[in-house]
Chain A
Amino acid sequence: GQNIDQPTEMTATEGAIVQINCTYQTSGFNGLFWYQQHAGEAPTFLSYNVLDGLEEKGRFSSFLSRSKGYSYLLLKELQMKDSASYLCAVRGSSNTGKLIFGQGTTLQVKP
């Protein structure tokens, strides 16, 4: 079967750092994506990992360990506008482009 797990909700303080974890078990692996989605809006692409290690992009970083089936999204210098749902998605096959999404983590940033 295919399973992607993320915490349902997280709360953090403005200016702080937060780490959102994602574990996955999928038939095949060809990349892991993180998306941000504000309520009522479309998901927007944040990051992509296919090899082990850390990818940094401004205030956002994403890490992947393929042997552990594990990824995290790190958000630094949190801002109020970072309050959103964060979706972890795995592409199992290179042929179809099909992404399987986790349930999403709702992050609330408080002043």
Chain B
Amino acid sequence: DTEVTQTPKHLVMGMTNKKSLKCEQHMGHRAMYWYKQKAKKPPELMFVYSYEKLSINESVPSRFSPECPNSSLLNLHLHALQPEDSALYLCASSQGGNLGQGGNDGYTFGSGTRLTVV
């Protein structure tokens, strides 16, 4: 299995709703990431989990709450979002760990969740 699976593919939610995005990989990768991508813009890093621990939070508002239940799963819990949070949310994974020089640890991206906040 060489894929990162994200569900749902599309999500429409109101500003008072609570929803969760899910991400799963079975490649034995120990680093997992959430990125947000607006139209015609590059992906922007939100969170990094390394060995199931949150290692980077890029000053993301608390209405986004990540969770890593185990080494294969990564969730993003959403609450009280704003219309400007509408975007493509990408999950990615990589081998992780300290690779030192020369480590080819490219990301494998999921197909994303297209989120619309109304």
Report which A residues bind B (CB closer than 8 A): 30-31, 33, 40-45, 48, 50-51, 87, 91, 94-104, 106
Contact = CB atoms under 8 A, between A and B. Distances in A.
B60 to A, nearest CB: 14
B100 A94 contact: yes
A33 B107 CA distance: 9
Interface of B: 31, 33, 40-45, 48, 50, 55-56, 88, 90, 94, 96, 98-112, 114
Q: Is the interface of A mostly helix, strand, loop or mixed?
A: loop
B42 A31 contact: no
Given A41-B111, A96-B48, A97-B31, 6 more contacts: A30-B99, A41-B112, A44-B109, A48-B106, A50-B103, A104-B40
B107 A96 contact: no
Given A43-B43, A43-B109, A50 B101 contact: yes
Contacts, number: 68
Nearest to A50: B102
- Shortest Cβ-Cβ A-B pairs, 8 listed: A101-B42, A42-B109, A45-B106, A97-B31, A48-B104, A42-B111, A97-B94, A43-B109
A98 B99 CA distance: 12
Contact of B42 (A41, A91, A102): A102
Contacts of B107: 33, 43, 45, 99
A43 B56 CA distance: 21
A65 B35 CA distance: 28
Contacts of B41: 103-104
Nearest to A30: B101
Given A30-B101, A43-B109, A45-B107, A98 B43 contact: no
A31 B111 contact: no
B87 to A, nearest CB: 12
Contacts of A91: 105
B56 A96 contact: yes
A44 B104 CA distance: 15
